[in-house]
Structure 1
Amino acid sequence: MTELLNDAQVAEALSRLPEWAQEGSTITRAVEFASFPQAIQAVNRIAEIAESENHHPDFDVRWRTLRFALSTHSEGGITAKDITMAEEIDGVVDALT
């Protein structure tokens, strides 16, 4: 079982993830890619990582803009798993853009 992070812990973690923001019990980020296929490539890479870690982000694909939302649903909020997945997503985004 993973413990929920309090607001101060989330704020501290997000200070190292400047593209992410807290929205209630989730952390979110939107990224605009150069093309729709590039956005889908990001989804596919992140899906593989998520599956291996058994922690799955919510994706919203709008043409070439991808929006990510992370929350540990079983815990009802933001945990260290979400912060780690955000770091993984940033790595994929950095590699593709």
Structure 2
Amino acid sequence: MSVPEGWRENDGALERELTFESFREAVAFVDRLAELAESANHHPDISLSYKRVIVRWTSHSDGGITDRDSELAARTDDLV
């Protein structure tokens, strides 16, 4: 499992904090991320606070980070 650039391992998850120009842009990103998660049937933990979004990919059923989480983290970067 590789950690995509810009991501870090934190407490058994791949985590990245993103900052957007506005609240509306942050929400639009979360909407795109929700579409990705639904299509992959794998869902991250998402925290939204004004212009800041924290995304955490982990496989709870596998007890931590898997290759799938790494792949979806990289795909998340494509949505920014």
Q: Same fold (TM over 0.5)?
A: yes
Give the shorter-chain TM-score range. over 0.9
Matched residues in 2 for 1:88 and 1:18: separation? 12
Structure 1 unmatched runs, 5+: 1-8
Q: Which residue does the alignment assign to 1:40?
A: 27
Aligned-residue CA RMSD (Å): 0.8
Give the secondary structure class of the aligned counterpart of 1:84.
helix
Indicate whether 1:54 and 2:41 are aligned: yes
Indicate whether 1:76 and 2:29 are aligned: no
Q: What is the identity percentage for the equivalent residue pairs of Structure 1 and Structure 2?
A: 35
Q: Whose Rg is larger?
A: 1
TM-score under structure 1 normalisation? 0.79
TM-score under structure 2 normalisation? 0.95
Name the structure with the higher strand share: 2
Give the secondary structure class of the aligned counterpart of 1:74.
helix
Q: Number of residues paired by the alignment?
A: 80
Runs of 4 or more consecutive aligned structure 1 residues displaced over 4 Å after TM superposition: none
Q: Which residue does the alignment assign to 2:14?
A: 27
